[in-house]
Structure 1
Amino acid sequence: MKPVIVVHGGAWAIPDALAEASVAGVKAAALAGIGVLKRGGRALDAVEDAVRKMEDDSVFDAGHGAVLNTDGEVELDAIIMEGETLAAGAVSSVRNIANPVSLARAVMEKTDHVMLTSQGANLFAESMGIPTLPTDSLVTEKERKEWEHYKNYSAGVEELFNSQWGNDTVGAVALDSFGNVACATSTGGIRNKMVGRVGDSPVIGSGGYADNRSGAVSCTGHGESILKVTLARLILFHMDQGRTASDAAGFSLRYMGERVKGGGGAIVVSPTGDWTATFTTERMAWAAIQEDLLYYGVHQSNMHTRVRLSVFI
């Protein structure tokens, strides 16, 4: 089986000022993930490493670079899942963890649960010896200024998402040489969200899903809309009916737009290596590597660049 990694940096109205940095970030994440796969690593390890790379990059809204809620606080969500046994772990509303995707993996591997939230997730992190850090260190000066500027802005969460000041999720899907798939999704949510708001990202079947029999999906976009249609599982349902990854993702995203008026995107990989990065928002930064070819793009027009790689990290 030829390994595949696909990553995204969020489907939203990415402004011109962030487009180049967003593409550079997803390319670096894809290289991190394929490096794991090229060394014979598992899809689960590859998606974790790829997402950690983006959580550490403040251009994205996950980990470092997280946006602030109405009280000016960080609340992070993440999920990770592997397709062989359907094992999954998730966390929501955690505040001082640089890499929530790794905390989600610890929930998957060290507990009998799928999701831990808020104080419970932080207590578990402490018991596992997972490092914490001051929440302020996750917030850029730019985000603090943006939050101060817009904190009294009267708008619903969907309007905030559609604006150019509404960062979004990161995610990765992978197929390894053993035929296993995995997904991971991580986010800081939407700026000025209500305290305690949880979107689709940590919810199994919505923000992500992985099953060796169907494929792996990581979703991004308007979280409330994604939750209503359980987007990740919907895409895999259509793949089970014989659609390609691209057709299944496109059909499901159009359905979400028609049914609940929500925009978003998804990255998908099938058990045979068929993959896609599809979105209905203005832009989505994404990158994929398959058979030593790196693909990447950001515009909705489906235009992308392809380059051949000779050296892997």
Structure 2
Amino acid sequence: MSAVLVVHGGAWAIPDELATASIDGVKAAARKGFLTLTRGGSALDAVEAAVRALEDNSVFNAGHGAALNADGEVELDSIIMDGKTLACGAVSSVKNIANPVSLARAVMEKTSHVLLTGKGANLFAESIGAATVPTETLVTEYERREWKKHKNYSTGVKEDFNSQWAHDTVGAVAVDSAGNVACATSTGGIRNKMVGRVGDSPIIGCGGFADNTSGAVSCTGHGESILKVTLARLILSHIEQGKSVANASQVSLQHMGDRVQGAGGAIVVSPSGEWAATFTTERMAWAAVEGDVLWYGLDPNERAKEELSQ
């Protein structure tokens, strides 16, 4: 079977001034992740490579470019999951780590735990010699400026989340030539969030889930809403009941909107290579590589493609 990789750069009201950079960023990350697959890497290797590329791109709210909490600090969350074994690793509220997705993978591979948080996650990073960076290098001038502008995170979910300052998450899903699926999700969270707030991104079944029996999902959107409906697992549950990946995503996002008034998006891939990128926010930057074609989009009902050789 042919490998497929899909990435997203967050579902929110992406302003026009960030639109081109967001599309360019997801396209570059999709190419990087897919290159890993073509060189014999696993789905797990590919989603890590793709998300690392997004974490390194300050346009996105993960790693470099992360949102600041109420105290003006960076607190990063990430998850990675292997659909073959259900092995999973996650970190939350970590500081001075440029690529939390790789730290999440280390939690999966080097500990008997799934999720490490805060000080413990940073201590673990030190113990394995993970690369650290001064936290200020993760903060862009744009984010510092926006943070000062919007110091109150309080009003309604949709109102806040769909406003132009609600920066969001990145993620990737993949299926490799062996039919194994994997997912990864990474975020800096919501700007001006309470110190210690953890959203959906590092929580298994919410921000991401991968299982070779059904598929892999990476979610994006309002974290508290996604947590309440366990969005990633909900999508896979609909797939297990016979729905297509696109329909399962649409039904689940609609349920989240109806039930808890939350907006968001999801990328999904099945073990057979069927994929979808679906969202209920104004925009979501996404890209997918399937065969020799790179698909990408930003606005609802918009899908463009280019040959991978370009």
**Deviation of the 1:109 alpha carbon:** 0.1
Which segment is superposed worse, 237-246 or 144-153? 144-153
> What secondary structure is seen at the aligned counterpart in 2 of 1:255?
helix
Report the identity percentage.
Answer: 72
Q: Classify 1:158/1:122 alpha carbon distance in 2 versus 1 (closer, same or farther; 3 Å).
A: farther
> How far 1:160 sits from its partner (Å)?
2.8
**Paired residue for 1:292?**
292
Distance 1:79 1:303, change over 3 A: same
Within a 5 Å distance, the mapping from 1:267-306 to structure 2 comes to 267-300=267-300, 302-306=301-305
Q: Secondary structure of the equivalent of 2:213?
A: coil
1:183 corresponds in structure 2 to 183
8 Å Cα contact 1:266/1:279 also seen in 2: yes
Change in 2 beyond 3 A, CA 1:240/1:177: same
Find the residue that maps to 1:286 and give its secondary structure.
strand
- Could you tell me which residue of structure 1 aligns to residue 150 of structure 2? 150
Residues 180-219 of structure 1: pairs in structure 2 closer than 5 A: 180-219=180-219
Q: How much does 1:151 deviate?
A: 1.6
Q: TM-score, normalised by structure 1?
A: 0.97
Q: Distance in 2 between matches of 1:70 and 1:58?
A: 20
State the secondary structure of the residue aligned to 1:91.
strand
**What is the distance in 1 between the residues matched to 2:230 and 2:155?**
25
Residue 242 (structure 2) aligns with: 242
State the one-letter code of the partner of 1:170: V
Please tell me whether the aligned partners of residues 157 and 193 of structure 1 are also in contact (alpha carbons under 8 angstroms): no
- Measure, in 1, the Cα distance between the counterparts of 2:139 and 2:225: 27
Query: Aligned-pair distance for 1:157?
Result: 5.8
Match of 1:145, SS state, is helix
Q: CA deviation at 1:93?
A: 0.2
Structural mapping, 1:38-57, within 5 Å = 38-57=38-57
How much does 1:7 deviate? Answer: 0.2
Structure 1 position 3 matched with structure 2 position 3? yes
C-alpha contact 2:2 2:176 (8 A) present in aligned 1: yes
CA distance in 2, matches of 1:154, 1:210: 33
Alpha-carbon distance in structure 2 between the residues aligned to 1:158 and 1:121: 31
Answer whether contact 1:157 1:190 (CA < 8 A) is retained: no
Consecutive unaligned residues in structure 1, runs of 5 or more: none
2-side partners of 1:94 and 1:157: how far apart? 25
Q: Is the CA contact (8 Å cut-off) linking 1:170 and 1:187 kept in structure 2?
A: yes
SS at 1:299 equivalent: coil
Report the CA distance shift for 1:222/1:130 in structure 2 as closer, same or farther (over 3 A): same
Q: Using the alignment, how far apart are the partners of 2:73 and 2:156 within structure 1?
A: 18
What pairs with 1:248-259 in structure 2 (closer than 5 Å)?
248-259=248-259
Whether contact under 8 Å (1:160, 1:190) holds in the other structure is no
CA deviation map 1:187-238 (0-9, x unaligned): 0001000000000000000000000000000000000000000000000000
User: Does residue 302 of structure 2 align to residue 307 of structure 1?
Assistant: no
Match of 2:30 in 1: 30
- Number of equivalences: 310
User: What is the alpha-carbon distance in structure 1 between the residues aligned to residue 160 and residue 54 of structure 2?
Assistant: 22
In the other structure, the counterpart of 1:86 is 86
Q: Deviations over 1:121-153 (max 9, x none)?
A: 000000010011111110001111111122257
**Is 2:76 the counterpart of 1:76?**
yes
Aligned residue identity for 1:35: L
Give 1:86 deviation, angstroms.
0.2
CA spacing shift, 1:153–1:118, aligned 2, 3 Å: closer
Q: For residue 291 of structure 1, report the CA deviation from its aligned partner.
A: 0.8
Q: Which residue of 2 aligns with 1:116?
A: 116
Q: What RMSD, in angstroms, separates the aligned Cα atoms of the two structures?
A: 1.0
Q: Report Cα offsets for 1:64-88 as digits up to 9, x if no partner.
A: 0001000000000000001000000
1:133 & 1:182 partners in 2: Cα distance? Answer: 27
Moved over 4 A (4+): none
Hey, what's the Cα distance between the residues in 2 that align with 1:153 and 1:178?
Answer: 45
